[in-house]
Structure 1
């Protein structure tokens, strides 16, 4: 009896060492299983065994690591279903399946006897959260039977291995996810690089097209001082839909300032369409109202549905100082009168272009006197911000009247 107790204590210490060795293994499943199987066979004094793990895709238990199993056994019993053989029975019941010292049956496992000439000593489930994720199966001659104490030890080992397997699975799953995320990050960076190149190329094309929309030189008219400036409010808006043009019409000069919604090549292309359309109609000696209305007809048919444009078209008669203008949805031009030091707004005559198929933009007329200043601009000028404050229309008026505001 004393020898049995001493032997049990030694086996218990050996069990704790197995558990410690198993849990301390690197988070590599195959290494963990190799260590666990080696130590279990050592403490149980057997040299034949294997560890089966659940294959989630099929629901079967597959022989993952083994020692001294015959090829015939591996081929026939290397994959078993729930409830099949000793392994499947242990997995199904969640309890150790073994023959104790007083077992009535000569052989517990006919397959093991048939394929290897030895018997199944024990098949112990590896449990995780109440589910068998694997089975430890040990083999020995049929004369060798395990005791209750040994059965408890194998069960304990199985449970501890289950924890280690689950930790390893989570580690490997996390590692795989990190690897996937790393690959996705690299792919995203490559995509972003390609996209930036594409956008830079597109921006270059759009900028080139936009520069072609602006006149190379300004008209020179006796008695008039004409100035023009094109500056983007932000770097992002460097390629937009704004443009201006001066069109000689016999002795007169047509002035066009337009703005297309959006930015990029499509917007710049639509700006070119509007510029060329207004120029073509202007050269037919049409009135400002006719030019704007006919330009709307073209843009409504040709422009993308989400696009629209605003335009201020003015026809100047230099000898008389008269201006006839049509304003389609564009910010009101500002006429600063020298004699009164007051600014008049030249309001819109109609909604923007390309919104409705038919447009009725009625023109209006003004007269420029000596010293008067006419300022035509796009909304970008008054919507530019500094410290979250818009420049605004009133500040623009102050600048025109020589009363600069600080922003």
Structure 2
């Protein structure tokens, strides 16, 4: 039929032509693109362009001559849709599905109501969408029938078919429509599923017996179909329960929560079991600590960032695609952004919009890059708000995503969100503990004439509470003071007592030279606290070429003197911990240090460290390590003890470890 195109129609034709040409370009770039089909479609587009140019300014042909034929076609269509034994689709000029018959719905394993209103091309794989769209436009424009090879995305697996397209005129419709007839189909053998993958739905493959002439008796076929459907439904449900259990065990199998590890493990499992591609977007912790996500997003804060992209296998193309997708964050208008803002999950079994997941850095849509036709997206929630999204995308090789997949992923999103919340709380608490712990120790050690100082502090490997160990070196009334102590317990309460004990020792030592008197005064200050403190205090005073050390001990492991020749002397022990009794008495001792001698103070965490058999590091190993490094720098001596300790317990320290050492230097030549 020849028709004159008015300016509005010309603009519409040109816009449609441009859009279809762009789709053909994208389709040609797909790895499994049919070059011949794309070329044929391109030639059709050229023919349409020429035909449109020839009709511009032409006369409107009489449509009345087609009235009888159109009415006949309408009556034929009405009966055909009811009784035809082949799949039939009625499409509008924009390829929207107006109506389908039961056979067409069975072919795709869905319902007639579900398909109505959606794009016909949405039910085809990406490689055939663009050529099909061009052929539909050609049929609408020229009225010539054509046959197009199509790969339908069936519920269970793709179905290859040859579709015949024919233009029809229906009374009451301003534009012509298209009838699509799916001819004899061949259902290819589905690829071997990935390990653990089960069919995504509980429906049975349909269309084979109808379209290929299955010889099995009808009653037997129906019974067999019911059995197969029941078996597949059970297998599908059990598989998803296994996925849920695996995710739960995987996320909780971490003594110390780590959100990056949890997200990557979750993505890897989902990419193995439920989808070809998994993308996880999360709000960084510094942004997630703020207000609500919608207000934050408007202010440019609290926006999700791409965290993990996991694709199928490890081939070069998949890795390149994953890299490009990783370089782009969710943008407003994309599905992950919308799900994050609304907190509502979204399922697109047949994704029509190629820009649904945005575009890569090269401008190519993400869906085209990964060849995905089915998408679902769920929020990652921490119990209070959305902190990210999980997006699954598949090519349809195992059927489109279903509501059961959405339900499973929603639960996984909640699990992952709770783990991330715990990880962030744990990390925040660890940072606070580290900051508080640092404030309880001197930033730097002072310089003491004629002596060399060194210290080591190693926190326990379990837990995030502030430790109770402390040490300090400070000016005293008659020289210098060294103190090392350990508060009973951990946490903020212990930290408060630690600060009180440390600063009280420094303050009192300004006016009192005797360590016993200093400790007695500190004991009075700690009597009101709920925790006790063990400590050793050393008063250092010059004495000839060496130094005299006066020790006060309050229930703490005794100090050690390492002579320059490697001999070891252990100072006296004694006293009771501070803060327990009003009647306090410290253990006392006096030592003389010659040049090269080293005084070592340490916490009980050194002695109590255990190996896997629960043997303690003990006093003998400590003394042997100190003696072996008596001639080296004092910092190297403490480092050797630390390494020996960590090797002994395989890095698993159950208590904090602190050490403080002073070595007398030989007299200078000056």
Which structure's CA Rg is the greater one? Answer: 1
TM-score normalised according to structure 2 size: 0.31
TM-score normalised according to structure 1 size: 0.49
Looking at secondary structure, tell me which structure has more strand per residue. 1
